[in-house]
């Protein structure tokens, strides 16, 4: 494991903006993988697949795209600056540290003779896109004979390395509350949709909460419904013709996306009658990979490196649920970077933690391969 090379790789990745598309960073990664000696398949969105070995495959995945930069940074968000043992920049933890780790692992195992097959996938359009655009969903037809894998999302805090055994799903909807637009001097003549929002909120809050036990962890998780957006801006002196509300659902692994949509439509009809439109932005089912043997293998690999494994259930959605629900590929999430740094201003990745997690992932691969 080459620490300096790993850090420089992350710096280079951070310096390539990938919050609008991933084509530039994808080309850089493709060139690196080809320089190592891999044959790399790519598509128009910049999704990449490369592999080594034969037989059953072990999948590694990290996404190339990031959220937008945001304002108020102390450090250059595209600078990749190293300070106080950390690399700063957008995507440093989520998820370019995972990309850097995969490149370092690729360099190492390219020199070794693995007994099985290791498949590297670098994908685009993970951050908030509908499933039809998601990079993992796009490349599924090209993934053959995959036994299981790891998603290198950030799960690391110092010497503690998380093993996420599943994640909740997401359901994102917009509700258009329909009113009647008019001059604000005569509210008696028009129908203000903003005033209907409290009734809708009351019904949404009545949506039943559910819980689910995760046997691998001995823990219970629950679902959530959150209103994240509301807008109706047509002018200070205008009663708006509609008020739009954004809903974010975090669902249990056994909940089909249609289930929550039906609950939401029922809440709308009860509070608004027919004066609404329900618009789906995205909906992806969660998952839970119930594989105790694989969990013990991962824990053993982490412990052997002197780190502390922390099995848990991820409350945010990751691409692991797409692999599981659409291709039957079970995967845990282990990766460098801290989830606490995801999407924040002055995002950074702890260098020591990145090195630890990369060592741990490499250890998992070697144990799975039997090498």
Q: What angle do CA 352, 357, 360 make, to 5 degrees?
A: 130
- Answer whether 0.85 is exceeded by the pTM: yes
* Three-state DSSP string of 293-327: HHHHHHHHHHHHCCCEEEEEEECCCCCHHHHHHHH
State the fold for domain 173-284: Alpha-Beta Plaits (3.30.70)
**Domain 3-167+288-369 carries which CATH code?**
3.40.630.10
Q: Which of 7, 18, 117, 111 is nearest to 60 (CA)?
A: 117
**pLDDT tens for the 371 residues of the chain, in order:** 899 999 999 999 999 999 989 999 999 999 999 999 999 999 999 999 999 999 999 999 999 999 999 999 999 999 999 999 999 999 999 999 999 999 999 999 999 888 999 999 999 999 988 888 999 999 999 999 999 999 999 999 988 999 999 999 999 999 999 999 999 999 999 999 999 999 999 999 999 999 999 999 999 999 999 999 999 989 999 999 999 999 999 999 999 999 999 999 999 999 999 999 999 998 999 999 999 999 999 999 999 989 999 999 999 999 999 999 999 999 999 999 999 999 999 999 999 999 999 999 999 999 999 86
Domain edges within the chain: 3-167+288-369, 173-284
Q: Which of 194, 249, 251 is nearest to 227 (CA)?
A: 249
Report which secondary-structure segment, H or E, holds 359: helix 351-369
Place of tokens 């009860």: 270
Dihedral of the alpha carbons of 145, 150, 153, 157, in degrees to the nearest 10? 180
How far apart CA 371 and CA 369 sit, in angstroms, is 5
Helix (H, G, I), strand (E, B), or coil: what is residue 190? coil
What's the Cα-to-Cα distance from 62 to each of 115, 168, 223, rounded to whole Å? 23, 18, 26
Dihedral of the alpha carbons of 185, 190, 194, 197, in degrees to the nearest 10? 150
Dihedral of the alpha carbons of 299, 302, 306, 309, in degrees to the nearest 10? -60
Report helix, strand and coil shares of the chain as percent, to nearest 5. Answer: 35, 30, 35
Verify cis geometry, omega within 30 degrees of 0, for the bond prior to 188.
no
């Amino acid at each position: 494991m080459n620490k300096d090379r790993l850090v420089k790789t992350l710096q280079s990745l951070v310096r390539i903006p990938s919050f609008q598309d991933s084509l530039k960073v994808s080309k850089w990664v493709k060139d690196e993988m080809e320089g190592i000696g891999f044959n790399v398949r790519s598509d128009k969105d910049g999704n990449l697949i490369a592999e080594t070995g034969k037989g059953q495959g072990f999948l590694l995945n990290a996404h190339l795209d990031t959220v937008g930069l945001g304002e108020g940074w102390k450090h250059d968000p595209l600078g990749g600056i190293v300070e106080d043992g950390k690399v700063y920049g957008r995507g440093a933890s989520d998820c370019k540290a995972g990309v850097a780790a995969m490149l370092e692992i690729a360099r190492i195992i390219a020199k070794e003779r693995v007994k099985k097959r290791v498949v590297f996938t670098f994908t685009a359009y993970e951050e908030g896109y509908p499933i039809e655009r998601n990079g993992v969903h796009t490349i599924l037809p090209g993934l053959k004979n995959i036994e299981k894998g790891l998603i290198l999302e950030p799960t690391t805090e110092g010497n503690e390395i998380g093993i996420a055994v599943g994640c909740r799903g997401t359901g994102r909807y917009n509700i258009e509350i329909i009113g009647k637009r008019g001059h604000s001097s005569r509210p008696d003549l028009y129908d203000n949709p903003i005033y209907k929002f409290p009734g809708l909120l009351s019904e949404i809050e009545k949506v039943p909460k559910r819980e689910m036990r995760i046997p691998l962890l001995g823990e219970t998780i629950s679902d959530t419904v959150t209103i994240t957006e509301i807008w109706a801006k047509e002018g200070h002196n205008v009663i708006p013709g509609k008020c739009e509300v954004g809903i974010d659902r975090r669902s249990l692994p056994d909940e089909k996306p249609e289930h929550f949509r039906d609950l939401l439509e029922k809440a709308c009809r009860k509070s608004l009658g027919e004066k609404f439109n329900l618009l789906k932005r995205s909906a992806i089912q969660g998952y839970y990979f119930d594989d105790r043997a694989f969990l013990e293998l991962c824990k053993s690999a982490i412990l052997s490196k002197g780190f502390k494994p922390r099995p848990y259930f991820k409350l945010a959605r990751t691409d692991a649920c797409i692999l599981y629900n659409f291709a039957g590929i079970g995967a845990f999430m282990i990766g460098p970077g801290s989830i606490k740094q995801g999407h924040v201003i002055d995002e950074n990745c702890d260098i020591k933690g990145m090195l630890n997690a990369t060592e741990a992932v490499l250890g998992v691969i070697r144990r799975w391969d039997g090498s």
